[in-house]
Amino acid sequence: MRVVITGATGTIGAALTSALHARGDSVVALSRDADRGRALVGADAEVHAWPDPLGAPPPADALRGADAVVHLLGEPVAQRWTDASKRRIRESRVLSTRNLVTALSALADGERPAVLVSQSATGYYGPQGDEPLDESAPAGSDFLAEVVTAWEYEARQAEPKLRVALTRTGVVLSPDGGALAKMLPFFKLGIGGPVAGGRQYVPWIHLDDVVGAVECAVDDAAVSGPINVTAPNPATNAQLSTVLGRVLHRPAVLPVPGFAIKLLYGEMAEMVTTGQRAGPSKLQQLGYRFAHPELEEALRDVLGS
């Protein structure tokens, strides 16, 4: 199988590239800088330059004849939100997806990939307290929910011509990036603990299962529309803190007040102080077998503990 990946040099993209190579697939990486992309993804991947994802479609030669496209591009959300950064977060997702779909739609029927797997996020649901959420739950109304709704809309414009799967990914457990990497220094110093009371749910997922879910979406023609890419056992922030402290053999009892997070991160603090109890209903219906369904085992695997 020939799979095109945007964002192949990111945490998820790099892990997916390795997994696809391991099973015998060929990978085509789209990168703003082709030379830098080749240096990061390795000699096994074919690399094409897409220098302006927000302003122009990717090269047709990179897409022509591929079996699948996995779209992972996006400005990091975990940064202090200003008007400028919020614009980058939105446009990096919405405009790049629009341009990718334009290129896919322009291909002849016999040259077009069969499926687009477009990254999405559980932020679609907005703050929902402890309400269990499957893929049929409505969108929220906060900034991230609006971004994800617009992002998914652009991806679904490809649906008349190919299958589209939207991977609503939760909090990815990986020491190399994302929320866990930001938490680790505090917990290793013994100053970690529950945030803003700790009752908010964290829809966590091990990186291996993110990759597995994307592979499932690529391979299985029954997968379309939104899919919650979260572990089957979501945890509260307090539970995550307790388990992480235990895995690291450090205390995890120092509460972090919500106002302190807001002073540090501004509006972006909503990501930490609120959450979603999103569950992987569709993945379970499809019979997907999680490599790491339990939080403590998943953390021990990620941290080599």
Q: pTM of the predicted model, to two decimals? A: 0.94
The DSSP annotation for the chain comes to -EEEEESTTSHHHHHHHHHHHHTT-EEEEEESSHHHHHHHH-TTSEEEE-S-TTTSPPPHHHHTT-SEEEE-----SSS---HHHHHHHHHHHHHHHHHHHHHHHHS-GGGS-SEEEEEEEGGGG---TT-EE-TTSPP--SHHHHHHHHHHHHHHTTTTTSEEEEEEE-EEE-TTSHHHHHHHHHHHTT----BTTS-SEE-EEEHHHHHHHHHHHHH-TT--EEEEE--SS-EEHHHHHHHHHHHHTS-----B-HHHHHHHHGGGGHHHHS--EE--HHHHHTT---S--SHHHHHHHHHT-
Question: Phi, psi (5° rounding) for residue 235?
Answer: -125, 155
Token pair in block for residue 278: 């999103």
- Tens of pLDDT along the chain (305 residues) come to 999 999 998 999 999 999 999 999 999 999 988 778 787 777 778 999 999 999 999 999 999 999 999 999 999 888 888 999 999 999 999 999 999 999 999 999 999 999 999 999 999 999 998 999 999 999 999 999 999 999 999 999 999 999 999 999 999 999 887 778 777 887 888 877 888 788 899 999 999 999 999 999 999 999 999 999 999 999 999 999 999 999 998 887 777 766 666 766 677 767 777 889 999 999 999 999 999 999 999 999 999 97
Q: Give pLDDT, residue 264.
A: 61
Q: Give pLDDT, residue 188.
A: 84
Q: Give pLDDT, residue 191.
A: 75
Residue type, 298: A
Residues 59/49, Cβ–Cβ less than 8 Å: yes
Q: Give pLDDT, residue 261.
A: 66
CA dihedral defined by 132, 135, 139, 140, rounded to 10 degrees?
Answer: 30
Q: Give pLDDT, residue 17.
A: 94
CA dihedral defined by 37, 38, 40, 42, rounded to 10 degrees?
Answer: 150
CATH of region 2-170+206-230+280-290, choose from 3.40.50.920, 1.10.490.20, 3.10.20.30, 3.40.50.720: 3.40.50.720
Q: Radius of gyration (Cα) for the chain, nearest Å?
A: 19
Burial class (CB in 10 A: 0-12, 13-18, 19+), 265: middle
Q: Give pLDDT, residue 280.
A: 98
